[in-house]
Amino acid sequence: MESQLNKPSARSYFALLLLFFAAVLNLFDRQLINILAEDIRIEFGLTDGQLGLLTGAAFGLFYAGLGIPIGRLVDRYDRVKLLSLMLLVWSVFTLSCGLSISFWTLFLFRMGVGAGEAGAQPALTSITADILPKSRSGFAFGVLYLGHPLGGSLGLLVGGYAAVEFGWRTTFLLAGIPGILLAIMVFMFMRDPRNSRHAEAGEIFEGSLWEAVKILFSKAAVRWVTLAQACSAFLAYATAAWVPVFFIRVHDMTTAEIGGYAALAVGVVGGIGTFGSAAFCDVLRPHVSRPESKVLIALSVLSVPALWATFAVSNSAVALIGMFVLTFSAYAWLAPSARLTQIASGPSHRGLAIAFATSTGVILSLCVGLPIIGVISDFLTTDFGSRALGYALLIALIPAMIIGIVSHLQVLKHLREE
């Protein structure tokens, strides 16, 4: 089997392509509500706090709650069948969002999207690690994570224009169809590459979930990389959720205008950051120890002035430039973080490790951070008007970046020791 892995077949590349499309839809369906948020707020008469619940907690509750047990299933059972089922579930619930009649029905449907997407990241990254030889792992992860900026940009671009042409409800209805079709293709044409070799490689830990968790978190590097990933995820989720609303309110842009700018930032700059960071780590690897941690520290530092330029500067052109730089940082962390998490955890627990890192990020950002940003914005509105949202984002995100830097320094320390 190893010799076959060293010579990737056309089937391997086709499987990687399907995983890439799954990653695209994973972010497309997740991002879509962010560009539609202001239209939804107006129709249902929502506050920013309620909007934060829709874009954050509604999705994050089930995403985080189910992510860890599904991550354990990813380490034990057929990953392709699990992925196809999850694709089907989140796509059906995305479609259902267009049928919402109130805040609470939309809240419930978003919970369904979160439940479907809960195990997507562990499954996608775990399968990707086995698709191509280890010498091409940077390339494989770079391709997979290109799906994030592409899916995010399509969500902004297609969502923005579809909302203007058809309304936000029809946009949701149309968005669910591609995922249903892709779920069928994954089930029919993909096979889990681990199934024929796990007994020899010893990749499956047969103990209970609790035993696996104890072994995983006995490693200090895993604990710190989980916290570091959560900080980076908070930056990505918060900017994705609130940037469109901020530019509509503060810089008087239409939904279609900011959708176009944000799509360009995510699709082009985010794509360069996603694939470029993975490739840059491979270039640095022969010369620098643990390049992933060092690249991630640099990205966290870069994000601080970018946050200030985006949300504190009055000039629209400067704010847009800040948004582009911020988007670069918000997407470039993905591939290095996934690889670093798998290095810290080892092959028998990598699905669970990714699930814990993802779920922690979702809890701290979507379930806690985004609603808190909305509440702070509501509190500051009396004094700062439309700019209150920008100040709320700065208050929340700059400390998170500082914590992320400290966490990555600790990852470096403990990886050397372990």
What per-residue confidence (pLDDT) applies to 7?
A: 62
What per-residue confidence (pLDDT) applies to 206?
A: 61
Task: Please give the DSSP secondary-structure letter assigned to residue 363.
Answer: I
- Residue 183 pLDDT more than 80? yes
Collapsed DSSP state (helix, strand, coil) of residue 208: coil
In order of their start, the domains of the chain are 8-195+206-417 (1.20.1250.20)
Element (H, E) at 256: helix 255-264
pLDDT digits (tens, 9 = 90+) for 282-319: 888 888 888 888 999 999 999 999 999 999 999 999 99
Q: Which of 412, 403, 138 has the alpha carbon at shortest distance from 294? A: 412
Burial of 413 (0-12, 13-18, 19+ CB in 10 A): middle
pLDDT digits (tens, 9 = 90+) for 115-128: 899 888 888 988 88
pLDDT confidence band for 3 (50 / 70 / 90): very low
Distance, C-alpha 243 to centroid of its chain: 16
- Residue 408 pLDDT more than 80? yes
pLDDT digits (tens, 9 = 90+) for 24-63: 999 898 888 888 888 898 888 888 778 878 877 788 778 8
Angle of the 10-44 helix axis to the 103-117 helix axis, nearest 10: 160
Nearby residues of 13 by Cβ (< 8 Å), 6 or more positions away:
none
CA dihedral sign, ordered 405, 407, 411, 414: positive
| Whole-number Å distance between alpha carbons of 58 and 37 | 13
pLDDT confidence band for 68 (50 / 70 / 90): confident
What per-residue confidence (pLDDT) applies to 4?
A: 40
What's the average model confidence in pLDDT over 90-94? Answer: 95
- Largest Cα span, the chain: 66
- Residue 219 pLDDT more than 90? no
Q: Which of 145, 21, 121, 154 has the alpha carbon at shortest distance from 362? A: 121
What per-residue confidence (pLDDT) applies to 317?
A: 93
| Whole-number Å distance between alpha carbons of 306 and 393 | 12
What per-residue confidence (pLDDT) applies to 412?
A: 86
pLDDT digits (tens, 9 = 90+) for 243-278: 888 999 999 888 778 878 887 887 788 889 988 898
For 8, 15, 76, 144, 397, the CA distances from 192, given in Å and listed in that order, are 15, 10, 12, 16, 39
Amino acid at the residue 218: S
Q: Which of 81, 82, 79, 72 has the alpha carbon at shortest distance from 207? A: 72
Average of per-residue pLDDT values in the chain? 85
What's the average model confidence in pLDDT over 377-382? Answer: 91
| Predicted structure pTM score | 0.73
Q: Give the lowest-confidence range in 185-194, 200-209, 287-296.
A: 200-209
Are the CB atoms for 237 and 108 separated by under 8 Å? no
Cα end-to-end distance, the chain, whole Å: 29
What per-residue confidence (pLDDT) applies to 181?
A: 96
Collapsed DSSP state (helix, strand, coil) of residue 381: helix
| Whole-number Å distance between alpha carbons of 90 and 96 | 10
- Residue 2 pLDDT more than 50? no
Q: Which of 20, 9, 268, 287 has the alpha carbon at shortest distance from 140? A: 20
Amino acid at the residue 30: R
